Amino acid sequence: MSRIGNQPIELKDGIEFSIDADNVVTIKGEKGSDTLKVDESITIEKKDGELIVSRSSEEKSQRALHGLYRSLIGNMVQGVSEGYKKELEIRGVGYRASLSNGVLEMTLGFSHPIYFVAPDGVDLEVDTKKRKNPTIIVSGINKELVGQVAAKIRSLRPPEPYNGKGIRYVDEWVRRKAGKSAAKA
């Protein structure tokens, strides 16, 4: 029994749902629209302003797909209505970020600047206030794509445990290590 798959997905006002003959789900909202190809064994129906996801059999693979597609469609509904956002913080002396013409330019302690172009469907913002670390804000309607772009930017200079320098998520806690001098005592 899939506990997640059995939960209905509430459709808020202003969200349109459609499914075509090829089992492609399209959800449109105020922030945009998103599509998803659903497995043939999963059926989706709209009742009383809610989406109900059901499966055709009780096989183990069907039960797994049931919960998966319910979560993916729920993420799509939240994405087109509210959107997703990840914030990355740059820590380090001389580490900077700026955005010009949709290209993110970062100075991360290498001998050259790093340029990053966001894919379609993802918006980048840079918040640089005085006396504060620069913050990169990644936002969009697709949860998977926002997370993937944020992880890619973080991987350019992940936080290191000795000085704490690098790119980290705003709410991320990095475990710090003592240096060599602590081992001599």
Residue 183's pLDDT is 54
Report pLDDT for 21.
Answer: 86
CB-hemisphere CA count at 13 Å for 33?
Answer: 9
Task: Out of 3.40.630.10, 3.90.930.12, 3.40.830.10, 1.10.760.10, select the CATH number for domain 84-169.
Answer: 3.90.930.12
- Tell me, yes or no, if the pTM score tops 0.85: yes
Residues whose CB is less than 8 angstroms from the CB of residue 135 and which lie 6 or more positions away in sequence, other chains included: 87, 88, 89, 90, 126, 127, 128, 170
Tokens matching residue 22: 């090829």
Report domain extents, the chain. 4-82, 84-169
Q: What is the rounded distance in angstroms from the CA atom of residue 74 to the CA atom of residue 104? A: 31
Answer yes or no: are the C-beta atoms of 86 and 138 closer than 8 Å: yes
In the chain (185 residues long), the average pLDDT of successive 10-residue segments reads 81 89 91 92 89 89 90 93 94 92 93 94 91 92 95 95 92 88 59
Q: Please tell me the distance from the alpha carbon of residue 68 to that of residue 154, in angstroms, as a whole number.
A: 27
* Per-residue pLDDT, 98: 94
How many Cα atoms occupy the beta-carbon half-sphere of 52 within 13 Å?
Answer: 6
Collapsing DSSP to helix, strand or coil, 126 comes out as strand
Q: How many CB atoms lie within 10 A of CB 4?
A: 12
- Provide the pLDDT for residue 178: 86
CATH architecture of 4-82: Alpha-Beta Complex (3.90)
- Per-residue exposure over 7-46, b if at least 16 CB sit within 10 Å of its own CB, e if not: eebebeeebebebeeebebebebeeeebebebeebbebee
Count of beta carbons in the 10 Å neighbourhood of residue 127: 14
Give the pLDDT score at 119. Answer: 93
Question: What does the pLDDT read at residue 105?
Answer: 95
Same fold, 4-82 and 84-169: yes
Structure tokens of 80? 């087109």
Give the phi and the psi of residue 152 in degrees, each rounded to 5: -65, -45
Report the candidate in 1, 2, 3, 43 with the shortest Cα–Cα distance to residue 19.
43
